[in-house]
Structures are given as structure tokens and as C-alpha cells.
Chain A
């Protein structure tokens, strides 16, 4: 992959979705419907960030292969509870990282970290106070990534996934 450069874009149109879905389907154990994806990308297109692998000498109009994707949302949360931390905030805005996937050839190159970091930056700009997500208990790589970024394991969710695996709810205060 030395001849490739990774370019990050936000969701623009429906045609962006198919390669992202393909990546997510390969990566995540949980199956999602097209409605799930559209729920996110239509309401928070700026929080759907795609990584494209382009040839270094390519012109910018060609997007290149989809190397990774992160899909998120941001909404006011019904309660605020971390005393002393959000004192200036009128309401708690909670971000949620719903899905993230990186293509196998592009792993261990920091693409996942960069996608999450960009999503966090974007959410911070949009007024997020905290971000949560769920990760499979056995997914050591994902847990390590999020923990490096400061996420804390808030709780464990019993049999959260369809296959019966537990999940950790992770949380980061922005």
C-alpha cells in the first residue's frame, strides 16, 4: 500500500454507501439493514466519514477504493449526570459511534484511529459533550483503539449482540 494515500471525505451521495456497507458487513458480526445505514447518513451526513485509498499520482476527482468508514450520530441526551463536568452546558449532547470498519489491506496503518479522531473532532465542533459506543467484549483491537483515545468502559451489556456475545459500553467526555 506504499503507492496509496488515504483521503478522508464525508458522505455525499447514495453511491458512497454501497462500498461502506460492504466493508461493515465484512467486519461486524451484527447485520444491519439499509434502513439502519440511511437513518444515520441522511440525518448526520457530516458524521459519516469515509477513508479512500488513492494512488498517489491520481487526480483528486477519483475517490479510490473505500478503505474505511465510520458512521455516527449526535443528539441531545435526556439526562446529564456527570456532576462538575458539564457545568456550562445547557443540555447534554451525546454523540454515538454506531459503526466503524477498516478494510483488511488498510489495517494497522492508523486508518481506524484517524477516522475516530476525525469523527470526535467533528462532534466536538457540533457541540457534543460526550460520545458513547458499544464494542464486543472480545474485540481487543477495537477496545485498545478506543482506550488509547480516552474512552472508559462504562458498563457491560449482557448478550448484547445477536450471537450472544457481551458488549462494553464505552464513553468519552469531550
Chain B
């Protein structure tokens, strides 16, 4: 322990030494720093300036301006000391003897600091605020000694803080893998020479924790009649268990451990994780609402210095951040521990296909997983040249392609597989980013997939020529002759990426109501292209059972989604015609604003904003602004009721299609596939119910004769009228004489379904037009779907 104080004294951030002198600007940042008083120089230089006049360097950017700090403004200047801060600093007593309740308060507050750091705050305003972590004078004390004057402080709190430091080191090392984005996901502003009790190994820290547990079980708990102390000892005991498990898990997930023996390390981590979740849940469950006040009554004044930034003069200042509350911190930790189990699912995936299901599922989770979890997932996915810590990337991609395109020539596509492996792992990594970034990166990476597809097409043509030297030249590029194995796979992956990007916009609430018809129209077109592609592909791989199963599975799921998109498009288009989805400016601003925003250039620009990323792709064909206008005009030819009814019918078909997708699930990865199907199913069922309610509800409110039975009868007549019409067309086509009734024989006149249906349609149209129908839509992420779910509310007059 003797060396510890020197280590702590040498604690440095960006080369700035930790001042051993306590508060105040450090005079010992490094040996070469010389401080110069420039007060007079500044006064002289600014003597001619009037109030508010500004000297501004040309290079001062908007970013510089927005991130500038005003010295002595407590909202901006991390170092400014308020009277309350001064009072707190004056209370720091390094030699104070702590009770168990006080030690628990410090440990809990340090835990809040740790979790706030995880939430993208600086270490200097979180962990390093704890004087028991940073004050060399404390570290010089005889910690861990049996004759310590403050045993609970030195034999329990200290091991807890050392272990917390080790956990932070593990998390920091993971963050340094470069998987995440600084400040967006984590705070990496002061990366140099961070100190996390590095003089201790994880094993030493665990031994200290074991010692703490033993002391709490023995001397710490014995002979103490104070209820507060007994309560605190029990909670400290639980906290030691949590910390021990957490350090074990984080240690097992370290890069070196995973590289050394991936299977064993992951196994250890997952086993530890189970224990960690149990321990932590018990710790949280034992916490009663009154505990917060009780614990606060045992606060140790001066133990935390949240203005410690001023001691690190050479560090770029950060703006103050509020600490997470105790409840928030534990909730955040609970989520972290829960989501870390994903690493096990990832490692268990046996093929690229299963990884695809897994990552699509991760991307659709209701909340972005904790940054540490996301980074661990990325590290387990790909490190160096290995995927899932076991398989070389090229072989992985080659397998990925052959899972769905079996006859590819193994020699012809080696270079392509390298590129495919890179793109595929990049895509999976993208799915681990926060959702806004997922969408942006997905859109940016589409051209690379397009290029891969083009290269694959060239390889496919070369392979065809090699296999069919006698075939005519033009047959090689004819899809009817050439299976286009490799490029089919690349096209499939590109289309999945496009669909994910389109849906991510809905999930992120980027699309406004009036944009929904165009977005759903586009999604329908992409999914239609995808389904057609898979249908052709399914024929090609019919002889290969595993590939056929894979293609058929995707086909069923995507066909259901295509139907879902089309049904929602029809409903959204009808809502637009009903003026429910009118643009916000249509109701408010003056005419000149409305005219400008409704003018074609503005509409075209808004359309381009959403879909321009698809315009540069070789396939599928870009749905131009004009094409969308034509498609919308075609829908305008239908009565409103027909649009809604047709949407309902398509949703019913989607549901049947999804049942097929569920039956075709991948038995090697059933849970991941079921999750994907579940989200789509929720959207289909919810939208079906919403549409049924709309027709029933508006009819009930505005046209009692169109109540449920009427609506059903109307729909029935509508279906019969359609059937009649088809029969008529069929008969006309084949020029068959129609049967005539015998003269003089009285017959019931056949029901005029068409007439009834027309009447019903126009009545529903009128009811819908008059109804002040309110429509809301959202993506219920907690149900595992990124698809919009409509909610129609018929507002009474």
C-alpha cells in the first residue's frame, strides 16, 4: 500500500497532475508550465473597447461560440465555487471515522457518479469528485489494516471504491475500442492517463471485497445494537455482492479475456451476469421509499467535491452535469445488466442469417441499449479478422452468401466475399449504434451495397460464361437464364437495409402526418421489389432445402410486411383526402406562406429530403416525385370507403402471410425470428382493429343506419358486387350466353348487390367526410415494432 500514495499523487489528466494541495488552481500541472499574470496586458488591450464590443478571431466558429464557457457562471464554469460549495469543501475531513450508514451513503453516491459517467459525463465531474477516490491523503491512510481507526471506512468502503475503479477501468477500456461516438454515447474527452486504482489487479480488488464481506459478516455486524448500523451493514453486504459480481462480469468481457479463450470468458460472463441481476434486483427490492431520507441523514459532508475540475487546470473544461438520482442510477444499471445478456445470444448465433435476425431485433428494441452493452456487442461481433470471436471474416461472409446462394463458385468470389464480410459486419455494427445514427449510417452505406451488387453481377456473369461456354453471349446477362447467385444475395441485403432505414424514420418520429402517404408508398414499392426478387430466387434454390427454407422464410415475412405497408398507405392516403393528414401550415399561416409551401418546388424538396438516398442506386427503380404523384392520383379515383375496406382486406391477407412466416421459422434461432414476426403481427392486428373501429365508430356516430350490422352488410354486398362484376367480365370474355328464366315462371329478382354496395359506399363516404375523425399514429416500440400503428378516434360533434 505504500506505493499507492505516489500513484495517486501522480494521477494526471492530459498531463495535468492532481494537485496534492487540495482546492485551487494547481501550480504543479507539470514542470514546464509557467503562469503569467496578464491582467494589465488585457486591460491595456481592451482600453479602447466600448461596452459589448468584441474582439473576435476569424477562426471562431459556431461550434466554438456555442461551447464557449463564461468564467464564473455556475451554469457553465465547472470550477466556480458558490458559497454552498465552499462550505462543503471546508467540511472535508480525511481522517473522519465513518459509521456503516455513512459509508453506505458514500458508496451509494459513488455509484450514482459511476452511472452518470456511463451516461456520457466526464470522470472529472463524477467519479473523481469523490475525495475518497482522489485525495492522496486518504490513500496514505492505513487502509485494510486490522487496527484501522475507522474499520468500516477502510475495510468496506475502500474495497468498494477500489472495485468501482476497476469496473470503470474495464468499461473505459471497452469504450477505447472505438466502437462508440464520443460525447454522443460516451464522454471520451480526457482520454489520457486516467487512473482507476490501476495498482490493483481485478483479483486483488475481488480479494479486498471478500475481506469486506468477511468483516461485515463477522466483526462488522457483531456486537452492534444500533438499528441504523445493522440496517446499513446489511445493505453494505448486499452492495459488496453486487460489486463483486459486476467486476467479475466486466472482467470476463475484457478484450484480452475474450481474445484468450472466448468461449470460457463468455461463459464466465453470462454465469456471472445471472448472479449479478439477482443480487442487484434484491438490493433494489430491499430499498424502501423512506430509505432515501434515512440515508441522506447520514451524508458525509465534504466527501464529494463536484467542483474538482478547477484542480485540473490543463484539462479542457466541461459544462456542469447533474448527477443521476439514486433510483435513476440503479434503473440504468438494471438495464445494463439485463441487456448484457445479448452478448450471449450474439455468440450463440450459428450463421450470418441468425445474426441478421438478432441484429434486426436489437435495432428494434424499445430503447437504445446502454453504450457499454453496445460496445461489447460490437467487440464480440468482430475483433481483428474474426467474427463472433471464432470465424475468419471471409469464411463467415462466404458462408453467409452460400446459405442462400449455394452454387456460387468458391474460387471466383473470394475478393467479393472479403468486401461482403466488411459490409455485412459494418451493417451489424451499425445496428448496435443509437437509433438516429443507425438510420444515418444505413443511408450512407447504401451506395457501397449497390456497388457490391454490381461487382457481384459481373462475377455472376463470368461464372455463367465459364459454366456455359457454348451459350449465346446475351444469355449471360438474362435473368431468365443466369441465376445471379451472388448479386441476388447482395440485392436482398441492400433491400433489407433500405427497409430498415425507412422504418427507422418512423420510429424516430421524423415523418410528419402529411409525409406518411409518400413514405408508406415508397416502403410498399421497396417491399414489392423485395418480394418479387425473393419469389424468383425461391424458384432458383428449390433444389437446396436449406437455402430454399431460408429464402421462403424471408419471402413470407416480407410479403406480409409489403401487405402491411400497402394497407397503411391506402389508409394514410384516405386520411390525407379527408384532410386529417393536412400539412400544419394549411390551417394557420397566411396565404402567401401556404402558397409557397404547397408549391411544387417545395413539395419536391421535401420529397427529395426523404428519398434522395435511394435515387443514386442502380436498383430498385427510384420512385420519382412524379411517379408518386401518379400513384396518388390513381388512388384518388377510388371512393374513400373503398380505400379503407381494401386496406382491411389487405391486412387480413398480411395476417395470413405472417402465419406462413411463423410456420417457416428458423428452428436454429426460433426466438430471434419470432421476435421479428411478433412486431409485424402487432402492427397488423392493431391496425386491423383500428380500421374496423373507424368504420364502425364513424358510422355509429354519424349514420345510425350504418351501424355494425349495416357496415357488415355493406361490406358483404360490396364483396358480392365485386364477385358479380368479375363473373360478368368472365362471361363477356368467353361470350357465353347467360341463362334466362323461363317465360311465365315467376322468380325472385336477384339482389342488386352492386346497387346496395354503391349506396353503402356513398353513405360511408359521406359519414367519413362529415366525421371529425381524429387520427393518431405512432410506432409502439415497447411492442417490438417500428411500423406505424393507427388509432382512429371519431370525435362527436
Q: Is the CB of A1 closer than 8 A to any CB of chain B?
A: no
* Distance, CA A46 to CA B370, complexed state (A): 44
* Distance, CA A171 to CA B195, complexed state (A): 44
Q: Which residue of A lies closest to B508 (CB)?
A: A156
Please provide the chain A residues from 147 to 161 with a CB less than 8 Å away from any CB of chain B in the complex. 147-150, 152-159
B501-530: contact bitstring with A at CB < 8 Å (1 yes, 0 no)?
A: 000000011111001000000000000000
Q: Is the CB of B388 closer than 8 A to any CB of chain A?
A: no
Q: Is the CB of B291 closer than 8 A to any CB of chain A?
A: no
- Which of these, A35, A144, A158, A163, contacts B70 with CB under 8 Å? A35
- Which of these, A33, A42, A147, A168, contacts B69 with CB under 8 Å? A33
Please provide the chain A residues from 126 to 174 with a CB less than 8 Å away from any CB of chain B in the complex. 137, 144, 147-150, 152-159, 162-164, 166, 168, 171, 173
Least CB distance, B759 to chain A, in whole angstroms: 40
Contact status B54-A38, CB under 8 Å: yes
* Distance, CA A98 to CA B65, complexed state (A): 11
Q: Is the CB of B584 closer than 8 A to any CB of chain A?
A: yes
Q: Which residue of B lies closest to A171 (CB)?
A: B609
* With A31-B319, A33-B70, A155-B440: A150-B65 Cβ-Cβ less than 8 Å: no
Q: Is the CB of B184 closer than 8 A to any CB of chain A?
A: yes
| Chain B residues, CB < 8 A from A154 | 510, 609
Contact status B70-A153, CB under 8 Å: no
Least CB distance, A92 to chain B, in whole angstroms: 12
Least CB distance, B794 to chain A, in whole angstroms: 24
For the complex, count residues of B whose C-beta is within 8 A of A. 53
* Distance, CA A31 to CA B119, complexed state (A): 19
Q: Is the CB of A61 closer than 8 A to any CB of chain B?
A: no
* With A31-B73, A148-B584, A150-B585: A82-B605 Cβ-Cβ less than 8 Å: yes
Contact status B120-A150, CB under 8 Å: no
Q: Is the CB of A47 closer than 8 A to any CB of chain B?
A: no
* Distance, CA A159 to CA B597, complexed state (A): 31
Q: Is the CB of A84 closer than 8 A to any CB of chain B?
A: yes
Contact status A156-B65, CB under 8 Å: no
Contact status A73-B51, CB under 8 Å: no
- Which of these, B120, B512, B601, B612, contacts A153 with CB under 8 Å? B512
Contact status A83-B69, CB under 8 Å: no
Q: Is the CB of B412 closer than 8 A to any CB of chain A?
A: no
Least CB distance, A38 to chain B, in whole angstroms: 5
Segment from B302-310, B398-406, B587-595, B661-669 that makes contact with A: B587-595
- Which of these, A34, A81, A113, contacts B612 with CB under 8 Å? A81
Interface residues on A, range: 35 or more
- Tally of A-B Cβ pairs under 8 angstroms: 119
Q: Is the CB of B321 closer than 8 A to any CB of chain A?
A: yes
Contact status B65-A36, CB under 8 Å: yes
Q: Most chain-B CB neighbours within 10 Å: which of A117, A149, A171? A: A149
- Which of these, B52, B54, B509, B602, contacts A137 with CB under 8 Å? B509
Interface of A is mostly: mixed
Q: Is the CB of B704 closer than 8 A to any CB of chain A?
A: no
Contact status B70-A148, CB under 8 Å: no
| Chain B residues, CB < 8 A from A137 | 509
Contact status A173-B602, CB under 8 Å: yes
Q: Which residue of A lies closest to B612 (CB)?
A: A83
Contact status B62-A157, CB under 8 Å: no
Q: Is the CB of B472 closer than 8 A to any CB of chain A?
A: no
Contact status B75-A31, CB under 8 Å: yes
A17-39: contact bitstring with B at CB < 8 Å (1 yes, 0 no)?
A: 10000000000000111111011
Least CB distance, B658 to chain A, in whole angstroms: 29
Contact status B588-A39, CB under 8 Å: no
| Chain B residues, CB < 8 A from A152 | 512, 515, 606, 609
* Distance, CA A157 to CA B185, complexed state (A): 11
Q: Is the CB of A62 closer than 8 A to any CB of chain B?
A: no
* With A85-B601, A148-B588, A159-B184: A40-B65 Cβ-Cβ less than 8 Å: yes
Contact status A33-B73, CB under 8 Å: yes
Query: Would you list 20 pairs from A and B whose C-beta atoms are within 8 A, ordered by A residue?
Result: A14-B50, A14-B51, A14-B52, A17-B52, A33-B73, A35-B68, A36-B65, A39-B68, A42-B54, A84-B601, A147-B585, A148-B587, A152-B512, A152-B515, A153-B511, A156-B509, A159-B184, A162-B321, A166-B436, A171-B609
